[in-house]
C-alpha cells in the first residue's frame, strides 16, 4: 500500500499532507516544470501548492507606489519566469510614477530594463539557471514592421513594465511571445547584472546612430550628458565621429569626456551656436541628438545644423512644447533631414549586450544600487538628478 511514509516526490516538500489518517497525494499534473530557487540556487520541482508570495513595488495609482506581497508568477506554456537580479530606473519610470502614461493601467509593476536568472522554464529554448536580459517589447512577429526588422514599431506591441508587470519585483513572468520572437538574450559570463541593465538604453542609442548614419566624417552634437547622452556619445565615438556635448551641469563635464566627448560646451556660460560653428569651421554639426526631454525645443537645433545635416528626435517632447520657428525652406534648400528614433528593436538589444561584453567598458558610469524596499528613494534620485543612474537590485 502506498503511503506518505514510503512515497518520495521531488517537490521541495518533505511530507505530504495528512488528515484523519487519510493521505492526500499531489497529482502529477500539478508538478509541471523544474524551477531554480533564486535565493538558494537549488533546482526543485514546482507544484501549484503551497502558494508563495513574492515582494514587488506596485504602482497602486499615479503618484503612489507601495511594496506589497503578491502571488508568485507562474510560467505560461512556451514562457518562463525569471528571478530578477537587477532592473534599471529609467526617466520613463519616473514619468509613469508621477504623471502616468497613456498605455498604463494601475495597479502595475513598473521596470523595463530587466536582467535576471531563469527559475522556471516551459520552453526548450531556456533552462533554469540561464542568465538573461529581456527586450521589453512584446511583439506579434507578423505585421509588416515585425517582418522587416522594425519590431519596435509593431502594430500590436505591448511593453513589459507598461502593459505587463515589469522588473521592480523579486520575480517576473516573461510571456511566450517574447521567447518565440527572440526577446531574450543570454548574458555573457564576463558581464555583471548591474552593467547588463544598460543593454536596453544602449540599444536605443544604437537605433539612433543607425537612423543618423553616423560615420567618421561626422561631427555629432549631443544635447545633454545624462545617461542617454553619455551612451550616445560613446556610440558616436565608437563609430569614429568627432563628438561635441552640451551640458550645463558641471559635475557631468568629466563624465562626458570619459564617454568620448572631444569638446564639452556649457550653454549656460557659452554661446552654443557660436561655439559649435567655431568647432566645425563654420559648417555646423553634421548630426544632432537631443538626449533629454524637451532639448529639441530648448535649443535652436536647426541653426546648429550643417547643410545636409541630420537631426534625430531621440527624446520625446512634453505635450506643452514644440519646435518653434522651423524654416522649411532651409530644410529644402540645405537638404537638412529630420528623423525619429523610438526605443529599440530586439536586434538592437542583441547588438548592445555584445558591445557591453566586449567593446564598451563604461566603468566610468556611476551607478547607485538600491534595494527593492527603497524603490521610492531610487525614483526620487533619478527625478532630482542626484545620481546619474539608479538600479534596483535583488
**Interval 248-270 mean pLDDT:** 94
For domain 202-340, give the CATH number: 3.40.50.720
What's the fold here for domain 53-198+365-393? Quinone Oxidoreductase; Chain A, domain 1 (3.90.180)
Q: CA torsion, points 386, 390, 392, 393, in degrees to nearest 10? A: -110
pLDDT digits (tens, 9 = 90+) for 111-156: 999 999 999 999 999 999 999 999 999 999 999 999 999 999 999 9
pTM of the model: 0.85
Helices and strands (DSSP H and E) totals, the chain: 13, 22
Which residues lie closer than 8 Å to 77 by C-beta, 6 or more apart?
A: 122, 176
Q: What is the reported pLDDT for 337? A: 95
- Lowest mean pLDDT segment, chosen from 100-109, 319-328, 333-342: 319-328
pLDDT band at 48 (very low <50, low <70, confident <90, very high): very low
pLDDT digits (tens, 9 = 90+) for 78-118: 999 999 999 999 999 999 999 988 878 899 999 999 999 99
pLDDT digits (tens, 9 = 90+) for 157-177: 999 999 999 999 999 999 999
Q: What is the reported pLDDT for 12? A: 37
What is the CB neighbour count within 10 angstroms for residue 12? 14
d(CA 220, CA 225): 13
**Residue 250 or 353, more confident:** 353
**Residue 2 or 207, more confident:** 207
**Interval 348-366 mean pLDDT:** 93
Q: Which residues pair with 159 in a beta bridge?
A: 137
Which residues lie closer than 8 Å to 92 by C-beta, 6 or more apart?
A: 101, 112
- The domain segmentation of the chain, as residue ranges, is 53-198+365-393, 202-340
Q: Which residues pair with 69 in a beta bridge?
A: 55
d(CA 131, CA 278): 48
Grid coordinates representing 53 are: 508570495
Q: What is the reported pLDDT for 323? A: 67
Q: What is the reported pLDDT for 47? A: 45
d(CA 378, CA 390): 6
pLDDT band at 53 (very low <50, low <70, confident <90, very high): confident
Q: What is the reported pLDDT for 52? A: 72
d(CA 90, CA 231): 14
Identify which of 236, 202, 230 has the alpha carbon closest to the alpha carbon of residue 292. Answer: 230
Mean pLDDT of the chain: 87
**Interval 336-356 mean pLDDT:** 96
pLDDT band at 19 (very low <50, low <70, confident <90, very high): very low
Amino acid at each position: 500500500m502506498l503511503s506518505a511514509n514510503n512515497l518520495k516526490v521531488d517537490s521541495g516538500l518533505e511530507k505530504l499532507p495528512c488528515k484523519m489518517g487519510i493521505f492526500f497525494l499531489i497529482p502529477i499534473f500539478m508538478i509541471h516544470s523544474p524551477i531554480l530557487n533564486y535565493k538558494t540556487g537549488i533546482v526543485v520541482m514546482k507544484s501549484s501548492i503551497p502558494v508563495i508570495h513574492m515582494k514587488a513595488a506596485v504602482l497602486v495609482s499615479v503618484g503612489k507606489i507601495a511594496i506589497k506581497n503578491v502571488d508568485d508568477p507562474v510560467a505560461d506554456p512556451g514562457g518562463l519566469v525569471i528571478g530578477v537580479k537587477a532592473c534599471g530606473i529609467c526617466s520613463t519610470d519616473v514619468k509613469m510614477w508621477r504623471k502616468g502614461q497613456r498605455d498604463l493601467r494601475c495597479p502595475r509593476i513598473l521596470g523595463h530594463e530587466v536582467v535576471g536568472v531563469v527559475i522556471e522554464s516551459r520552453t526548450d529554448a531556456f533552462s533554469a539557471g540561464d542568465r538573461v536580459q529581456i527586450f521589453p517589447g512584446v511583439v506579434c512577429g507578423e505585421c509588416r514592421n515585425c517582418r522587416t526588422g522594425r519590431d519596435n514599431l509593431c502594430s500590436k506591441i505591448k511593453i513589459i513594465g507598461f502593459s505587463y508587470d515589469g522588473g521592480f519585483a523579486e520575480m517576473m513572468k516573461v510571456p511566450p511571445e517574447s521567447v518565440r520572437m527572440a526577446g531574450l538574450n543570454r548574458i555573457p559570463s564576463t558581464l555583471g547584472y548591474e552593467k547588463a541593465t544598460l543593454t536596453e538604453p544602449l540599444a536605443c542609442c544604437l537605433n539612433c546612430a543607425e537612423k543618423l548614419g553616423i560615420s567618421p566624417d561626422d561631427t555629432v552634437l549631443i544635447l545633454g550628458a545624462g545617461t542617454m547622452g553619455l551612451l550616445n556619445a560613446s556610440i558616436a565615438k565608437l563609430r569614429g565621429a568627432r563628438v561635441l556635448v552640451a551640458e550645463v551641469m558641471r559635475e557631468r563635464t568629466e563624465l562626458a569626456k570619459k564617454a568620448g566627448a572631444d569638446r564639452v560646451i556649457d550653454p549656460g556660460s557659452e554661446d552654443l551656436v557660436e561655439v559649435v560653428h567655431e568647432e566645425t569651421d563654420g559648417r555646423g554639426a553634421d548630426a544632432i541628438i537631443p538626449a533629454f526631454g524637451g532639448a529639441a525645443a530648448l535649443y535652436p537645433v536647426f541653426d546648429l545644423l550643417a547643410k545636409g545635416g541630420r537631426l534625430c528626435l531621440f527624446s520625446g517632447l512634453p505635450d506643452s512644447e514644440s519646435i518653434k520657428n522651423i524654416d522649411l525652406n532651409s530644410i529644402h534648400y540645405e537638404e537638412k533631414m529630420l528623423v525619429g528614433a523610438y526605443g529599440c528593436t530586439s536586434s538592437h538589444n542583441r547588438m548592445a549586450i555584445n558591445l557591453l561584453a566586449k567593446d564598451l567598458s563604461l566603468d566610468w558610469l556611476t551607478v547607485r544600487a538600491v534595494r527593492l524596499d527603497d524603490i521610492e528613494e531610487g525614483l526620487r534620485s533619478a527625478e532630482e538628478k542626484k545620481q546619474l543612474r539608479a538600479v534596483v537590485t535583488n
